[in-house]
Structure 1
Amino acid sequence: MENLCIIPCGKKKIWDIKPETTSAYAKDAYQGTLHKKCRLYAEKNNDAWVILSAKHGFLLPFDIVPENYDTGFHFPKKDIIQDTDLRYQWHIKNLHQAQSIVLLTGQKHENVMRRVIQDTERYHWVTPLKGCRGIGDMLHRLDEITPK
C-alpha cells in the first residue's frame, strides 16, 4: 500500500439514525459529515483508509463496531485506547506497510499518531488539513482538495 489515509471517526454514528442497529461494520458505523468527506477524499484518490477511534483504535472498513459510544482523545487516558494497543494494531493490521501517511484529522489525532508510530522517519507524512481552524474550515478544505 502506498498511501494510507487516517480518518477520524466522529460523534454521529448509525445508532443516532437507526437506534435498533446492533453492531455495524466500521465503514457503516460513522455518519458525520467530516468522516464522510475524509473517506470520500481517500476513495477518490484511490488511497487505503483506516478510521482512528479513541475507543477502538485503528478500524479497517470491515472491522466490527459493537455498539454506540462517545469517547474522544480529549477524554482522560484511562477512558481511551492505550498507545501500546494502537502500536499493536498498527502492526497486526499491516498498516505499517504504507509508504505515506495522509492525516485527514485535527491536531489531537496527529499527536496520537506521532506518539504511536515509533519510526516516524520511515513514512512520508501528508497533512492536508493542517492549519484549519475548526471543522468548518476542514470541510471547506476537503471540498477544495477532493478530486471531482
Structure 2
Amino acid sequence: MSHTSSAVLQFPPATAEQSRDYMAAKLRYHADAWDVAEDLRNRIADIVVIDTRSESLYAQAHVPGAINFPHRLMDAQSTAHLDRSKVYVTYCDGIGCNGSTKGAYKLANLGFTVKEMLGGLDFWMRDGQPVAQGSAPGEWAADTPAIECAC
C-alpha cells in the first residue's frame, strides 16, 4: 500500500514501542497545569514550583505556593540555597514565552532535577486554577476544590 498521497503518512509512523518510549521521555520533561495543581493540593513536598518571570509579573498573579526566581538571575551563587533533593517545576507566561525553558535549562545545567509546566500561567488560568497575588508565594488553600481534568 502506497502512502505517497497522504501528508500524515509521508513519513512512516514509529512502531508502538518507539512511540511508547518517546511519549515516556516527553513526560519526564513536562507536567501540565492539572498535574501541578494536584500535587500542590495534595501537598507533595518533593516538588518546588518556580515562576521564572519578573517580580512585577509575579506580583500580578502566580501559582499559589510558587517562588519567584527570574531565570535571568539564576546562577551557581543564587541557587546555592536550593534543595537538590527536590524536583523544580518551572513556568512562565505561556507558550509564547520561553522563560520556563531558560530557567529549567539553567537549573539542570547546575545539577538540579527539573520539569517544565506546559502552557505556563496562561494554561493554568485557562484551567480555572487559583492564583495568588503580591510578592509572597502564598499557599494552596485547603478548601480549594479540585478541578476535574477534562482530558
Q: TM-score range by the shorter chain?
A: 0.3 to 0.5
| TM-score normalised over the length of structure 2 | 0.40
Considering only CA atoms, is the larger Rg found in Structure 1 or Structure 2? 2
Give the number of the structure whose residues are more often helix, by fraction: 1
| TM-score normalised over the length of structure 1 | 0.41
